[in-house]
Chain A
Amino acid sequence: MTRQKRSHHRLKRAAAPYLYLSPSLLIIGLLMLLPMVTVIGYSFQNSAVLRRDPSFAGLKHYHAIFADPVFWASLWHTLYFTCMSVIFHMTIGMVFALMLNSDRINPTLRNILRVLYILPWLFTAVIIAVIWRLLLEPNGVVNSVLMQMGIIGSKVEWFSSTATALHAVTFANIWAGYPLFMVSLLAGLQGIPKDFYEAADIDGAKAYQKLIFITIPQLMPIIISISLLDFIWTMQVFPLIWITTGGGPIYSTEVLSTYTYKLAFSSYNLSQASASAVVILLISLGLTLFYIRYQKAR
């Protein structure tokens, strides 16, 4: 084999992996990187999309959104909505998973509960929003039941009052999202060797001690992974909030996604909307990097 042929062969071998990867890279480039880069570009332009010759705006749009009190309110609401959702998804998911994994519950009842508990996961965000709007409307079932039980004295406008709206949408999101934790933790629970619990029994450990010293440490990798993913996904929730409250009343349920949407499609300020979208991207990116580092460390 001549030197030229050998070099050609080496080149072909080196290029082969990239050729195999090229369809995926092309799709990622077209569907993910290109839109992302375009939006970043828009955030530095005046009258992006709306003008054929947009001028360079520098950081003007970032200054504008950082100077807007509604943006900071949206950020705070997003953090509250996300943190509360993740904490309660995890807690409820854990309780239900332990229940479904328990031998003390009748197997038939367990199967029925398994189906019931997973139901919220089967509904789309729009259906969930409509269900909760109907349940929580002033003349809805929830008010009627609470009034009959004497818990509230008059009708509460759950989604229409600034005092309750954010809690109400967070509650609806908690209801919609716990099954992910439940299913993941149930799978984790079924993977914990029985020997650990038998050894603990011999040592005279109580149920809560087994939970704290065996179950939770064994589930910790799943808890952290799912919590991070849930945090990233919940931060970007849009349809549930949009359909239930539209970001109102006043700005009490405005989150970053609804704030960005209004900038884009109500104000037609696509440059500022892009800047806001880039802020969401940066927050999500930070969390994603944290998630990747955690996965690598494992």
Chain B
Amino acid sequence: MMFRIQPAMLKIAAAAWLLGATGAMADTTLEFTQWWEPELPAGSLRAIMNDFEAENPGIKVTLVSGPYATTRDQISVGAATGTLSDVVGLDGAWVNNLNAQNALADMNPMMDASEFDQTQVADIIKVDGKAVMFPVASFVYPVFVNMDLAAQAGVTKLPSTRAEFLEAAKKMTHADKNQYGWVLPLSLQTPSGVQNDLMSWVWASGQSMMADGKPALEGKPVVDMLTFVKSLNDAGVISPGIATKTEQEKVEEFVNDRVGMMIDSLAHVNLIRKRNPKLNFDLIPVPVVENYNGKRGLPYASWGIGISAASKHQEEAWKLVQYLMSEKVNAKLVTLANAFPGNVNAKPDFVTSDKAFAKAFEIFKTGYLANEFTGLPVAEDLMTQFDVEAQKMLAGEQSPEEAAANAQKGWMAKF
């Protein structure tokens, strides 16, 4: 039997092929790898991308999403093999390594070419003079105080200095009732406790762990911080199990009225409320050294964004970065994430509707974002090394000065 192709069918097929081909030629598809989508309400990041596509005809965005750790490994491998997505979600701790691999594009020329107003962004992360990352959303780390435990302990004025913090922690500690003043998670599994729960004391007082771009751990700020933490440990006000405690366990202990104070991410506010709706808590900035009246550094973790050096669509990628950093879109994104904005003019909705967030926003506005691990080489490894030395100090194997000196030696090897 002869099979006859109808001329009409041929015409339809040709038209479809032509449409597809021209569509493919006209559209630029950007690949955007990040870990944000699973952490945001379902479909919300896609909706923002749809709005971007509508505003920028001819540009399509494919989201490549996964959990944080998977994304980190994917980006490391992508940087090595030259297959990094056009736009990448970044953690400040990764950028030094990625820059060493020449994987990130310098956004300085793009900012100049588009006359981008640099004063509108909270921070620009630069490595070797190259602008490699913008923090899109920041999760700050204030001190959470259990107000019921504080009231029971007779703590009427919330601590503002380290000495007041020690006193308040002592009053809140009742070891016989499994109740402690403070919680310190120094698990080696995730050594971020070094950044969030130790170095935050240094940054809060406007001090630094660095000097001239090199580690300065033997300096007074870090040694004083270690001495202070040791004094808390010696006073028995820290919840036991420090060396293996994780951030999740820290939050659980706070939620269950077992610790009076903890330094934690603002991102956990909703989680804390969900786990214990009756918990009465307040937020304060991390206490400072005596007689310090300057601006307080506020530790933070961020969702950063950068552009791949290997991208063939850097112009379009820059459009997407600009879009996410713009006032309205940034406010929308950080409202969804319960984070603070990367655009200084953006005001997320939750700061007016929620008391805790409003308080945190005040702390955020009166201080400045501080995280010196951002941009450092092998930041996680540095934290691990410091963690080990801090653990040795808390175990009584060495003094704060020795811990600082040993950590300094280890860090210098990485620089």
Measured CB to CB, the residues of A under 8 A from B are: 49-52, 133, 137-139, 155, 157, 159-162, 165, 242-251, 262, 265-268
Count how many pairs of residues, one from A and one from B, have CB atoms less than 8 Å apart in the complex: 84
Contact A248 B243 (CB under 8 A): yes
A179 nearest CB across to chain B (Å): 27
Q: Which of B129-137, B327-335, B377-385 contacts A (4 or more CB under 8 A)?
A: B377-385
Nearest-neighbor residue (CB-CB) of A139 within chain B: B178
Taking CB atoms, residues of chain B closer than 8 Å to A160 are 240-245
CA of A88 to CA of B388, assembled, Å: 31
Q: Is the CB of A52 within 8 A of B82?
A: yes
- The verdict on A49 contacting B244 (CB below 8 Å), with A248-B388, A262-B384 known, is no
- Contact, CB under 8 Å: B243 / A249: yes
Q: Which residues of B contact A266 (CB under 8 A)?
A: 191, 378, 380-381, 384
A70 to B172, CA, bound (A): 39
**Min C-beta distance of B306 to chain A, whole Å:** 17
Contacts of B187 in A (CB 8 A): 246, 248
Enumerate chain A residues within 8 angstroms of B243, measured Cβ to Cβ: 157, 159-161, 245, 248-250
Closest to A48 in B: B80
Known: A249-B391, A249-B395, A250-B392. Contact between A159 and B378, CB under 8 A? no
Partner of A138, one of B79, B188, B241: B241
Quick one: which of B101, B258, B380, B387 contacts A51, CB cutoff 8 A?
Answer: B101
Is there an interface contact between A251 and B381, defined as CB atoms closer than 8 Å? no
Closest residue of chain A to B384 (Cβ to Cβ) is: A266
Is the Cβ of A155 less than 8 Å from the Cβ of B380?
no
Q: How far is the CA of A245 from the CA of B245 in the complex (A)?
A: 9
B81 at the interface (CB under 8 A from A): yes
B374 to chain A, nearest CB (A): 16
Report which B residues bind A (CB closer than 8 A): 73, 76-77, 79-82, 97, 101, 178, 187-191, 240-245, 258, 378, 380-381, 384, 387-388, 391-392, 395, 397
Minimum Cβ distance to chain A for residue B4 (Å): 43
Contact yes or no, B189 A267, CB < 8 A: no
With both chains docked as a complex, state the minimum distance between the C-beta of B223 and any C-beta of chain A, in angstroms: 20
Q: How far is the CB of A275 from chain B (nearest CB, A)?
A: 17
Inter-chain contacts of A155 with B (CB < 8 A): 240
Question: Do A49 and B80 touch across chains, with their CB atoms under 8 A apart?
Answer: yes
Q: List 10 A-B contacts (CB under 8 A).
A: A49-B80, A50-B97, A52-B82, A159-B241, A160-B241, A245-B189, A247-B189, A248-B187, A248-B244, A249-B391
A170 to chain B, nearest CB (A): 15
Query: Which chain B residue has the least Cβ–Cβ distance from A265?
Result: B73
Q: Does B240 lie within 8 Å of A268, measured CB to CB?
A: no
Q: Which of A139, A159, A251 is in CB contact (< 8 Å) with B244?
A: A159
- Report the Cα distance A163→B395, complex, angstroms: 11
What chain A residues lie within 8 Å of B101 (beta carbons)?
50-51
Q: How near does chain A come to B240, taking the closest CB pair, in angstroms?
A: 4
Is A251 within 8 A of B189, CB to CB?
Answer: no
CB of B189 within 8 A of CB of A242, answer yes
